[in-house]
Amino acid sequence: MPKTDPASSSPSGAAAPLVRARGVTRSLGGRTVLDDVSLEVSRGEVVVLVGPSGAGKTTLLRTINHLESIDRGEITVAGKRVGYVEGADGKVRSAPKRVLAKQRQDIGFVFQHFNLFPHMTVAENVWHGPVRVLKAPKAEAVAQAQALLARVGLADKADVRPNKLSGGQQQRVAIARALAMQPKLMLFDEPTSALDPEMIGEVLDVMKELAREHMTMIVVTHEMGFAREVADRIVVMDAGAVIESAPPAELFANPQHPRTRSFLSKIL
């Protein structure tokens, strides 16, 4: 099989971006949700996506692990297209389901509404992926789950059902569940938007800890304090397009785009 991706095989592979989106376009019912979006995220980088609602932040995030399809452009993670394969004839097709499933193992996703499995205990939620998907030995996976739960401060909740937990606790379990797959990349879709205010801090703390450990993260959020403190770069989207991208200090001090200025003035 010919190597189609020089970036991942060349010696400079480590410097190549982990996530590369080029010209990504998606329409839904005649409306352009993503309009020629390009974005690169390096290994270890924390990128925060901001913008007014309807700007396409969540859609962009969901296209990165192919929860949403794209009409044009390409998205690669670690040099490989996600959800698509390029045939020998140069045509791009949907990837076989197993190939896509395998790629998703490396991409953790944290949902706004947690989406924990209600019929499993907290610990099962965390070890289920490693055991059923990665075929890890159960004893090891259970031990790892226990360690991850300790890391998010929920070691004592291992044996309860998710519906007995607060929203903040559920979201921390959801992060532990994603981390159990040992992903290369973590995507967060408004992880604190469904939480009561007093629970936002505990979830952000876990995410900050992850950032300190150099996890590559793309975070859609309205928490500007978090963005300022943790993000290496803030990407501003509006009307399905990226309008600005800069380190937080620079962006907050000197926004270039008028719509960035108007957006920031509303939320800061």
Partner 1 sequence: MTFDWSFFWSNLLTPRGPFLQGLALTIIISIAAMVLALIIGLVIALMRRSAFLPFRMFASFYIWLIRGTPLLVQLVLIYTGFAAAGIFRFSDIDLPGLLIKAAVQAAIVGLVINESAYISEIVRSGLDSVPPGQSEAAMTLGMTGASAMRWVIVPQALRIMVPPLGNSFNGLMKSTSILSVIGVSEMFLVTQSISAATFRTFEIFAVVAIYYLVLTTVWTVIQAWIEGRLNRMVGIDATPSVVGRLFGGRAAGPVLNPADAK
Q: Return residues touching partner 1 (CB under 8 A).
A: 65, 67, 97-98, 101-105, 107-109, 111, 113-119, 128-129, 132-134, 160-164, 167, 170, 177-178, 181, 194
Nearer to partner 1, 160 or 264 (CB): 160
130 sits in which H/E element? none
For 137, residues 6+ apart whose C-beta sits below 8 A from its C-beta are none
- Are 130 and 141 a contacting pair, CB within 8 Å? yes
- Are 50 and 57 a contacting pair, CB within 8 Å? yes
Min separation Cβ 154 and partner 1, Å: 16
The one-letter code for the residue type at 112 is: Q
Nearer to partner 1, 8 or 115 (CB): 115
CA 187, CA 75: separation in Å to the nearest integer? Answer: 14
Q: Between β-strands 233-238 and 107-110, what pairing exists: parallel, antiparallel or unpaired?
A: unpaired
Min separation Cβ 249 and partner 1, Å: 32
Nearer to partner 1, 24 or 107 (CB): 107
Min separation Cβ 115 and partner 1, Å: 4
Min separation Cβ 90 and partner 1, Å: 26
Nearer to partner 1, 52 or 167 (CB): 167
Residues forming beta bridges with residue 188, ordered by sequence position: 110, 219
- Are 108 and 148 a contacting pair, CB within 8 Å? no
Nearer to partner 1, 16 or 206 (CB): 206
Min separation Cβ 248 and partner 1, Å: 27
